[in-house]
Structure 1
Amino acid sequence: MALTNAGNEAEPVEQSSHSEVEQHSTKVLMLGALGVVYGDIGTSPIYAFREALHASAGGNVANRGDILGVLSLIIWSLMITVTIKYIMFVLRADNRGEGGVLSLMALARNGFPTRSAVILGIGIVGAALFFGDAVITPAISVLSAVEGMNVVTPTFQPYVVPLTLAILAIVFAVQRFGTGGVGLVFGP
C-alpha cells in the first residue's frame, strides 16, 4: 500500500487497484487504436469498388462477372495487406514500445548510420503521406456519403458540395472538444 497526501490527512491507496485500472485503460486504448487503423483500411475499398465497377463495365451496367471479379480483387488485396503488411511486419516493428513512421525511421537510422540522410528523407516522405491521408480521409468520407443522396434523387446534385462543406465545418468546429466532450453533448 502507498500513502497519498490529501490535505492534512494521509489516506491509504491500493497500488494493485491503480495498476489494474491503468492496465484496463491501456487495453481499451489499444483496442481503439486497432479499430481506427482497420476501420480506415475498411473504408477505402468502398470507394475503390465503385470506381472499379465503372471502369470494368465501360460505362454500361456491370454484369455478375464484373462484380465478382472486382470483389475478389478487393478481398484478396485486403487479406494480403492486413495479413502480410500489418500483422507480419508493422505490428512487430517497434522502437522500445513506440511505433509510427518517425519511430521506425529512428530504428533504421541506428541500423544504417552511413545512410542516415537517405533514411531521414524517407521518414519525412512517410510522415507527409500520413499527414496527407489524415487530411483527405474525412473529406472523402463525408463527400461520398453525401453523394449517396443522388441515389435517392438526382435533384440533390447541386447541394452535394455545399452540404459536404457544412458537415465538415461542423465536424472540425466540435473536434476541439474531443470525443469525450462531444459524447457528453450528443449522448453515448
Structure 2
Amino acid sequence: MHVIFKEYSKVVWQKKWYFLLCIIGLSSATVLSFYVPVLYKNIANGLASEYSAATHSMMLHNLGMIAVFYAGVWLSWRVLEIGIIPVDGGGVNLLEKRCLDVLKKQQYIFFENSFSGSLIKQANRFSRSFEIIMDWCLFHLFQNILAISIAFILFYQQQPLFALYFLAWVVVYLIWNIGFSWWKLKFDEVVAKADSKVGGVYSDAISN
C-alpha cells in the first residue's frame, strides 16, 4: 500500500500545476454553490417584506449576483475539466509506462514463477486505480471537507452551540467510517489477490 501511494504521489507531483487547477476549480465551484442559497434567501425575505424602493433594489441586486455566481460556478467546472484530464489521463499513462519499465527489468525466473495474465491484470489495476482514487480524493474527500468547513463557519456565525454539535457529529461519523473501512480493507485485499490469480489462470489457459 505504501509503495502504491508513493508512486501515485510522484505522478501527482509531476502533474502538480494541473492538479492545482483542479483544486482551484473545485474549491471555487463549491464555495460559490454554497453561497447561492443565501442570495435566494435574501430575495425570499424581500418578497415577504413590505414593498419599497430599497427592497426592490436589493432583490434586483441579489438576482444579478445569482447570475454572476452561477457563471462563476460554470467557469470553475470548466477550469476543473482543463486540469483533471491531464491529471487522470496523463497519470494513468505514466503509471502504465512505469509498470512496463519495472517488468522489463525483471529476470527471466520472475516470469517463470508468475502467471503472465495475473501480472497484466495487476499492472492494469495499479494504473487504472489511480483515476478512481484521484477522483475520490477530489470529489469526495476534498470537496466534502471543504463543504463541511463552510457549513461549520456558517452555522457558527448563526448558532455557535449548534455548530459544535454539528462538528461533533461529523467527528463521530468519520471515526466510525474510517474504522469500518480499515476493517474492510483486509477483505478487499484478499478479493483483489484472488481476482488477480483467477484472471491470470484464465488468461494463460486461453493463450496456451
Tell me the TM-score range normalised by the shorter chain. 0.3 to 0.5
Give 1 or 2: higher helix fraction. Answer: 2
Give 1 or 2: higher strand fraction. Answer: 1
Higher relative contact order (CA 8 A, sep 6+): 2
**Based on CA coordinates, which of the two structures has the bigger radius of gyration?**
2
TM-score calculated relative to the size of structure 2: 0.32
TM-score calculated relative to the size of structure 1: 0.34
